Structure 1
């Protein structure tokens, strides 16, 4: 990493990404956040955390803490594990990769594969895939503590890539989680009531965003999300490039961005010379879709951190984008007061 600040970001992100937490099993991540954030959290019954401070109109920031993965559905007589994917995972991203199985008492490493007869299938069907942990039998697997429902996560420790890039698992959405954690621990001097939500079950149904928004009843809401970069050969890189700054999302499948809030964030970026991109998401929704509908509604927006190869073992991100996203959020928050929030909404 090119400097001390960037190195710290890398180390903090490495710690977060190497925690394991699929949808409905995020406790490893939430426990870490509660240990390292210097405020008391409110909780919903799904496992989401909400941290609040300041007085005035309510501004809500969110990032989902879960990652894509799998869960054990069956142990075969030969000791292999069958599974159910949790979140969008393609068979092509799974075969010959290492996975970690988290049992009630242990963590066990294995490799995922398919019957050789199925390698030429148009799509590697989940029913033909299995996880090999080296067991000889069902009895051996059970003796090691394996049981139906155990969490399975990709195994790929975060590593540097070039001068400022990194690759590893769970960058979607631990990048957003780290950004909000850093903002909370800075304890900015604000003129609004800030509510930071670390939401669960984002990859399947964006459920934690719904419950936490109902708790907070925000006036303004911003979801921080990892958004696919498309700057590889043959891709349309407009608005979706690594190293070009946070992505201001004008449309996703669950939300058309609030025009006043979107324009305001862009104006702040221009004022402080923070690089940014504008983009849309065609086939997915984020936390902001749920937050926008809470109680009387909230002026809502998605801000993205571009990530290549999302929902795979080895996603790639640029720490410059993370740094600029945090800077943009800080400048937006510091500029707000009740009058400004009212002007943005109406």
Structure 2
């Protein structure tokens, strides 16, 4: 398939923080309808070096995709790209001791000929939205989400839990055991949206509000402007999001018939089964017609009239025997029964 998108739209703000540790790829204002790779990363910890970790993640993963010309994202390609980013973060930490311990969340969306591939680490999210419904979304690698899955607290309680900002996974140098969750989507159609966001967006825009905004009959720019205004009013954290609208999806059509007739001579042994079956039907039909004609002709042929017996007169004096009388030329044959073609059904 070939996926065509409308112009991607971003929101990228400080919130009530002095430093913005969120980063995204492509950078704000750089995305075009020809882009296929999108990322949102939210830096954490490390002597306020989180913005470096998130920036390195965006730069390293995108560079890996470009360098290796990854056209389709399978699991191995995603894991290798993230491993490359982890190595770059670790290298930076070795060269800059004050940045040791820095880490970042990661969300990734790659559109390709087989559909869409989504990967994530941490509590930044990716939503797949269609017709006012969330078709699918990532699940946070967070402390409160683990409590929700265990049935300890509800999703409503998680929103105000004191440890709601504690994450259980992050992309960090020297931590090869941390892996991304990867999801592949093949069901895509015109009008779908992908929405990538950091947790600062979710402080102000919950799932219901997001669906209401995306279903509004306004431009995509106007939709993201609504998101921005809500975040500026209510978010304490940095807020970053990418809106990727699916314009249409081109599905290749397989040509079933050749574009030009095949004029090659075909040997009897190579005649396709369907053609052979058709020829056999015509042969059987011809034989039946011939047999019917012969039967009809045979029963219409005049038959010789058997001679009538001559009476024998017996007297006491003598016996007189008369010779059989020859059939008259004017004698007509008896009426014969014939079968019309209408009496038979051809199968």
Per the TM superposition, whether the score is higher than 0.5 is no
More strand by share: 1
Q: Greater RCO between the two (CA within 8 Å, min separation 6)?
A: 1
TM-score between the two structures when normalised by the length of structure 2: 0.25
